[in-house]
Amino acid sequence: SSDEVTFMPDLHFRLHFRHYSGYLESTNKSQLHYWFFESQGNPSTDPVVLWLTGGPGCSSLLAAMTEQGPIRIEDDETLAPNPSAWNLKTNFLYLESPAGVGFSYNANGQYKTDDKQTAELNFEALKSFFQKFPQYAKNDFYITGESYGGVYVPTLAEKCLDRKFPAPFKGFAVGNGYLDQKLLGNSWLQFVYYHGLVDTPLWEKLVEECCHDGTKLRKCDFVGSEKKSCQKLIEKIHNNFNSAPINVYNIYAVCNQSSIRRDELTPEQVARRFLVTNLLQLDADYVNQLKDSPPCLNYDSLQDYLNRKDVRHALHIRPQSLSWTPCNPNIDYTNQYKSLAKVVRKLVSSGLKGLIYNGDVDTACNYLGDEWFAEELGFKTIREFEPWLVNATGQVGGFVKIFDGFAYTTIRGSGT
């Protein structure tokens, strides 16, 4: 009860659900901040859903207050309701992970971690959550996330599966996930060409230099090529792309360049640098050029709001927590999983429900690479690729393919 949020500054509408904010104890003296919204439906029976935003190093409060959470931040730092909130029929838990992200901290000031340590960190925090909220221990439980959540979600799900906790663990969902470095790197090049971001002569030269057989582009390993001529062309394409003010999370969205803090890396810059260094493995000099990439995302109002004293007090933020930032590029994080195929196969084969979904105009973790990933898992096709419709309008919302044990779907015209 001490974690219940009873007042939110600049919230001028009535909430029809309870919500809680506080800390979950984890390994190595880590204290992970959470924000839990009870369902607007039937909290006692609706599923509990955990959300993990990626990065690595980006806060889940980005999703809570700008994506699917029930409370949205406006430019003037007032709060507005979200009619499409995911807690309409679920109890929704946001976790800021690992320590050093958002309001989460480590009592020893240790902010060096990796994929396996983070999975353990998240699992222990999950145990702490159900100790605080034992009334939800029997509800169905799902793990969800986006971007580098493509690593967070399967690795945590595997621990829940192996340790049989929580008992009613039912499934997982990954949105625009970082699921396979090689597939995402190769598909990124095809994505930008077929979306009009690379001209045909440059593309044809790339295929000529990088592919043994240009008629089999699906099998062309652009990023694995050791030819200097191929690597230089890839660098040229990235230089052209990054020199333009394009929102990597949604290439058709507005690139917001107003009032961005120039002394900090924006989430977009973090994603671009991570994409290039880990997916395309280009040289360090080229990566350093990306520090001055044109920023397109503006979280100033959210950052200012969450760092207000009255807001920190309302959310029970401890003095040990640092100032909230959308992403923390100073975390010493080591990527260990180059592909999550083995882990996801294990999860699906165990009988868990699975969903891989992608907004089809995101380039950071594009739909094509994740579609290839889904296909290469090797599960039997139950229903072929087909459109799904938005009930209210009858318009095509995207496309879906059903495999034995999981589904892959796109969301048409959407970014991350």
Q: What is the DSSP letter of 277?
A: I
Coil, strand, or helix at residue 2?
A: coil
Picking from 185, 158, 162, 183, the residue whose alpha carbon sits closest to that of residue 172 is 158
Q: What is the Cα–Cα distance from 342 to 153, expressed in whole angstroms? A: 14
State the residue for tokens 């980005």.
Answer: 62
Confidence (pLDDT) at 286: 37
65-101 confidence digits (pLDDT tens):
999 999 999 999 999 999 999 999 999 999 999 999 9
Sequence spans of domains, the chain: 181-299
Confidence (pLDDT) at 287: 37
Quote the pTM value. 0.91
Q: Do residues 244 and 294 lie in contact, with contact meaning Cβ atoms separated by under 8 Å?
A: yes
Picking from 402, 397, 387, the residue whose alpha carbon sits closest to that of residue 353 is 402
Tokens of 119: 């999975």
Tokens of 75: 């430019």
Tokens of 307: 């760092």
**H or E segment to which residue 166 belongs:** none
- What are the φ and ψ backbone dihedral angles of 204, each rounded to 5 degrees? -65, -35
Tens digit of each residue's pLDDT, the chain (416 residues)? 899 999 999 999 999 999 999 999 999 999 999 999 999 999 999 999 999 999 899 999 999 999 999 999 999 999 999 999 999 999 999 999 999 999 999 999 999 999 999 999 999 999 999 999 999 999 999 999 999 999 999 999 999 999 999 999 999 999 999 999 999 999 999 999 999 999 999 999 999 999 976 667 888 999 999 999 999 999 999 888 888 888 888 999 888 765 344 445 555 555 555 554 455 544 444 334 333 333 577 888 999 999 999 999 999 999 999 899 999 878 899 999 999 999 999 999 999 999 999 999 999 899 999 999 999 999 999 999 999 999 878 899 999 999 999 999 999 999 88
Q: What are the distances in angstroms from CA 185 to CA 51, 225, 278, 396?
A: 25, 12, 9, 28
Is there a cis peptide before residue 295, judged by omega within 30 degrees of 0? no
* Pairing of the two strands 353-359 and 169-175: parallel
With residues binned 3-state (H G I as helix, E B as strand, rest as coil), the percentages for the chain, rounded to 5, are 35, 20, 45
Q: At what angle do helices 200-210 and 228-242 cross, to 10 degrees?
A: 150
Exposure letters 385-396 (e unless 16+ CB within 10 A, then b): eeeeeeeeeeee
Q: What is the Cα–Cα distance from 413 to 172, expressed in whole angstroms? A: 23
Chain centre distance of CA 76: 26
Confidence (pLDDT) at 271: 54
Q: Do residues 60 and 44 lie in contact, with contact meaning Cβ atoms separated by under 8 Å?
A: no
Confidence (pLDDT) at 330: 83
Calculated CA dihedral for residues 391, 150, 99, 315, nearest 10 degrees: 0
Q: In sequence order, which residues have a C-beta less than 8 Å from that of residue 61 and are 6 or more positions away?
A: 35, 94, 96, 102, 302, 306, 324
